[in-house]
A and B are shown apart, each in its own frame.
Chain A
């Protein structure tokens, strides 16, 4: 499947999954908030330009915002992780985008440990920024800290569960291709 088509499907899937499944889970605890929609941004191809990454991140966050009627909140967080994504990838694996054997970030492409760090860093950034914005509006600081930790942990759990349960079929790329 074409990368563009695949990512469009993925975009719709993640937004709907977040809005209709995860947001409808009966509340277990006030600190347990399952969030996974931003995995779409994490799974975007390496080769995407930084500017388009920002635009796509913004649109992803905004789409979800319109469902939760918090326009701008998730958009800001998504733009932030879209901006930092290339830096983190570069720090973890100092390679040129054309040197990757797989087109997308995954455990296979990066190795489990760097991939885990990549997911953790971006989750932490996303939730940290999101909850900071929420905290500025209303809330207390201790709650904010606990929520950052708990939501990041839940997101990590969800992302790795998804990775293990639903492995993406990724084409191995050679330099000749």
Chain B
């Protein structure tokens, strides 16, 4: 017995070395076999904590490439979007009928073409947005633009081959003929350039019994806008003391911040109307000259 103790004392280091080796190797081979190890659960908590602390810092160094990767991913997904495949034409055609009117004696006056807003602004005094249809698709100046939900958005003011610039209602130069839905009294919609949430309706006579929440539609006096499309609802009624008219604050029904799909509406008889207007004016002028 004494010899055993002496042996152990003599070879203590070697024995502990062998024991530790056996322990380490058994850990290694047991882990490989059963995928578990002594203290691995607890150790994982600790290494996980240290790793996450490190990752908190390390994260920042990968943000750039991560961003790039996400950007590339977005790019590849973006290219799959149906919105990329643009119809060159809208599928709506004007067919010149030799008869001039259809069997129901109706002549088409307004023609709608769909379009997509490609850029938009609401923060300036003169807000314009751009749509992906141009002269090649038959867009001309002064066409009305209506939001996908049928509320008035603006009017085309500039046309290129494939894109058009549209003056939004939120533009201090914009004037749209309007009428009250109830009374059919006409006025005009303008914007004071202040809050993009409200438009101003002028020229509604005080004889009209305007209430809050009354609907404002596009008027019949316009060559550009088809009548009867919704502009908004009255939110504030101010009596202009110097005149016989109200100044009404109107909340537009179009959400100008996220205009996406829009319709461009063409007045097919506009040229005729404008021409008639001009010749009438000329004739009146000539009459006046003759009188003098």
Residues of A within 8 A of B (CB): 16, 20, 50-51, 54-55, 57-58, 61-62, 66-67, 69-73, 75-76, 79-80, 82-83, 133, 137
Contacts and interface: CB of A to CB of B under 8 A. Distances in A.
Contacts, number: 70
Contacts of B59: none
Give chain B's interface residue range (CB within 8 Å of chain A): 20 to 34
Interface SS of chain B: helix
B162 interface: no
A164 B121 CA distance: 62
The list of the 9 closest CB pairs from A to B, nearest first, reads: A72-B28, A72-B27, A76-B24, A71-B37, A66-B43, A75-B24, A83-B17, A72-B24, A50-B13
A54 B24 contact: no
A101 B266 CA distance: 99
Given A50-B13, A72-B37, A58 B20 contact: yes
Contacts of B24: 58, 61-62, 72-73, 75-76, 79
Interface in B27-45: 27-29, 31-32, 37-40, 43-44
A9 to B, nearest CB: 16
27 contacts: A16-B50, A20-B54, A51-B13, A54-B17, A54-B20, A55-B20, A57-B20, A58-B20, A58-B23, A61-B24, A66-B43, A71-B37, A71-B38, A71-B43, A72-B24, A72-B28, A72-B37, A75-B27, A75-B28, A76-B21, A76-B24, A76-B25, A76-B28, A79-B24, A83-B17, A133-B25, A133-B28
A39 B12 CA distance: 25
A137 B28 CA distance: 10
Interface string B1-18: 000000000001110110
Interface in B124-159: none
Nearest to B13: A50
A74 B32 CA distance: 14
Contacts of B276: none
A50 B21 CA distance: 15
B26 interface: yes
Given A76-B24, A76-B25, A76-B28, A66 B44 contact: yes
A127 B117 CA distance: 65
B12 A79 contact: no
A70 B21 contact: no
